[in-house]
Amino acid sequence: MNLLIKSISLILISNFAFQLMGQEPGTLKWSYITNGEIYSSPTMDIDGIIYIGVNDITDDDVNDNHVIALNSDGSLKWKTEVGDWVDSTPALGANGVLYIGCWDGFLYALDSETGAKLWTFETFGVIDGSPAIGKDGVIYFGNGESALYAVSSDGIPVWTTGPNELEASPFLFQDWIDCSPTLDADNNIWVGDLFGNLSQIAPDKTELWNVDLGIGIPASPAIGKDGTIYIADEEGYVLAMTPGNDEPKWFFKTGLERIESSPIIGPDGSVYIGAGFNSLYAFDGQTGSVKTGWPFNEPTDVIYSTPAIAEDGTIYFGSGDNNLYAVDNSGKKRWSFQTGGFVDSSPAIGPDGTVYFGSTDGKVYAVYGDSPLGFSRWPKFRGSLAANGKVDPYRRWLEAENLSEVNPSSDPDNDGLENVLEWAFGTDPNQRNLNDARYPNVSFSGERLTVQAEWLVDALGVNYQYSETLNAWEALDFESPKNYPWLESVVSEVIEGKLHVRLELKLAESSPKFFRLSAIQN
């Protein structure tokens, strides 16, 4: 028994995929051809799976409206039929469920592993914006009937009315909600309509603040570190709003037409957005002044695509001239990649620097880049690779700690824990202090051995792994303890934002000798 206890090794390992491939940036890695057009933008999970919507453009009797999942090598993982066009970008929940709106008025909840339809929620208007997912798993989305809905992760309306309080009671605007909601640090919903209303709405449906800008807002808001709301409108204005103040902090008229691109925010607070006909702008986020060397005017058609910024400062975006562009942070072109159709899809940047996007030629593209997604507050459309409409909690932590070493694999205090694990366990990244969290540890009583640990609920991709030899590791499935004859029970509970997990081992059943935690962070 003592030999077994002594042989248990508890290892903390953080796995990252920041391995540059060495291929020439701007060249094709792979493409996948669908049977339709793509206006939707890609969402990515921690395993590198790409999720995106496809629109049927044929007049035959075959429904080619789908949501598809592609493996990291470009092969099809699954595809699921939906009732109409899908311009919406999928939002990936912490529960592994994919939420996406459709022109048929339904919100679809799909199993991200299989594509199976878990439930649908019916509204009575086109849904072309993308959902946002709150801290409690509530899904927020708008539609063409001027309604903002709140739906639980089980598909039940949260805002209700009627004698049994089962009938959905959405928050009503004055016009179509074309943009996608954005959530602030307090889980409040920011959304605009095509009448020109910009509203801040609490999770309980209380309107906290509203301003009537008088001009429709098709672009989705981005929220700066200081709470500034960045938006754009149908007459070519880019605006910075301070919550509670009806007058803009600053505004800039591009002199061009309707802006459908949404703003993103770089590491230094710069705001980037595609403006109307052919210009990509970069603004000082505090003053609204156009940055030196900008705008970038090489595209020959509209820019509806929302840009994405990489860690090295490269900005990627699509254009109606069929190209994906890569521009450095001084406004100079690095390269472009031509497709066979409009690139309205907003790019996503993978951990190895690969740039993913769709085109109206019906293809999903993976193009080599050379830097992962930037460590900024709002580096891409919908904020993160999960496209859930809120600031990634790891990135918010980087800001709060004011870390100069922002890469997840950095270890500024040299305590053997990389940044992503300091965050996951709730420790101080600048001070050697490992007493604030419970790492995997063992205790022995009677005939049972207990292995326990804790980590933040927001730390997606953390899992227990076990091994007999240290050569091969398997992930432990908490949902199926009966699959392991050596496992007596799994006890897990959430306490103050941390998931506490306790494994009770049956020593008589030859339990594994080695356990570790593995953490993956996009």
What integer pLDDT is reported at residue 13 of this predicted model?
31
Say what the pLDDT of residue 222 is. 98
Strand partners, 363: 33
Please tell me whether residues 386 and 443 are part of one structural domain.
Answer: no
Domain range enclosing 513: 2-12+435-520
The pLDDT of residue 105 is above 80: yes
Average pLDDT over residues 251-269: 91
Pair 388, 444 in one domain = no
Rounded to an integer, the average pLDDT of 19-36 is 84
Examine the fold and report which residue of 399, 414, 444 is the final residue of a domain before the chain moves on.
399
Q: Which residues pair with 55 in a beta bridge?
A: 37
CATH code at 188? 2.130.10.10
Name the more confident of 106 and 423. Answer: 106
Q: What residues form DSSP beta bridges with 80?
A: 67
User: Does 407 fall in a domain?
Assistant: no
Domain count, the chain: 2
Read off the pLDDT of each residue in 147-152 and give the average, rounded to a whole number.
97
Q: Are residues 97 and 220 in the same domain?
A: yes
CB count, 10 Å around CB of 463? 16
Is residue 46 included in any domain, yes or no? yes
Residues in the chain: 522
Which CATH number characterizes residue 474's domain? 2.60.40
Does the structure show a pLDDT above 90 at 282? Answer: yes
| Residue 78 and residue 7 share a domain | no
> Does residue 334 belong to any structural domain of this protein?
yes
Q: What is the secondary structure of 320-332 as a DSSP string?
A: TTSEEEEE-TTS-
Q: Which residue carries 């009806």 as its tokens?
A: 246
Is 243 part of any domain? yes
Is a pLDDT exceeding 50 seen at residue 224?
yes
8 and 43 in a single domain? The answer is: no
Residues 326, 337: Cα–Cα separation, whole Å: 9
Q: What is the mean pLDDT of residues 166-180?
A: 93
pLDDT at 11: 30
Regarding whether 443 and 372 lie in a shared domain, the answer is no
pLDDT at position 352 over 50: yes
Residue 82 tokens read as: 């939906």
| Least confident span in 126-135, 196-205, 433-442 | 433-442
107 and 254 assigned to the same domain: yes
What does the alpha-carbon distance between residue 484 and residue 201 come to, in Å, rounded to a whole number?
47
Statement: residue 10 has pLDDT above 70 = no
Q: Which of 399, 424, 457 is the last residue before a domain boundary? A: 399
Burial class (CB in 10 A: 0-12, 13-18, 19+), 313: middle
Its pTM stands at 0.89
Q: Is the pLDDT of residue 217 over 50?
A: yes
Question: φ, ψ for residue 20 (rounded to 5)?
Answer: -75, 140
Asked whether residue 412 is assigned to any structural domain, the reply reads no
Residue 18 — very low, low, confident or very high, per pLDDT cuts 50/70/90? Answer: very low
pLDDT of residue 183: 97
Phi/psi zone of residue 141: left (φ > 0), alpha (ψ -120 to 50 degrees), beta?
Answer: beta
Is the predicted pLDDT of residue 522 greater than 60, yes or no?
no
Query: Same structural domain for residues 71 and 157?
Result: yes
Q: Give the model confidence (pLDDT) of 445-462 as tens digits.
A: 666 788 888 888 888 777
Residues 72 and 113 reside in one and the same domain: yes
The residue ranges of DSSP E strands in 386-457, in sequence order, are: 441-445, 448-456
Q: How far apart are CA 235 and CA 233, in angstroms?
A: 6
User: Is 20 within the bounds of a domain?
Assistant: no
Residue 429 is assigned to a structural domain of this protein: no
| CB atoms closer than 10 angstroms to residue 516 | 18
Residue with the bigger pLDDT between 300 and 310: it is: 310
Sheet of 197-201, strands arranged across: 182-183, 189-192, 197-201, 207-212
Distance separating alpha carbons of residues 420 and 408, to the nearest angstrom: 5
pLDDT band per the 50, 70, 90 thresholds, residue 58? confident
Q: Which of 252, 238, 246, 123 is nearest to 177 (CA)?
A: 123
Judgement on whether residues 54 and 87 belong to the same structural domain of the protein: yes
- Domain-embedded: residue 283: yes
Q: Is 17 within 8 Å of 72 (Cβ atoms)? A: no
8 A C-beta contact, residue 282 and residue 274? no
Q: In this predicted structure, what is the pLDDT of residue 355?
A: 98
- Domain end: 348, 381, 399, which one? 399
Pairwise pLDDT comparison (138 vs 59), residue with the higher score? 138
Domain co-membership, 322 together with 465: no
Residues 57 and 171 in one domain: yes
DSSP state of 55: B
Residue 292 has pLDDT above 60, yes or no: yes
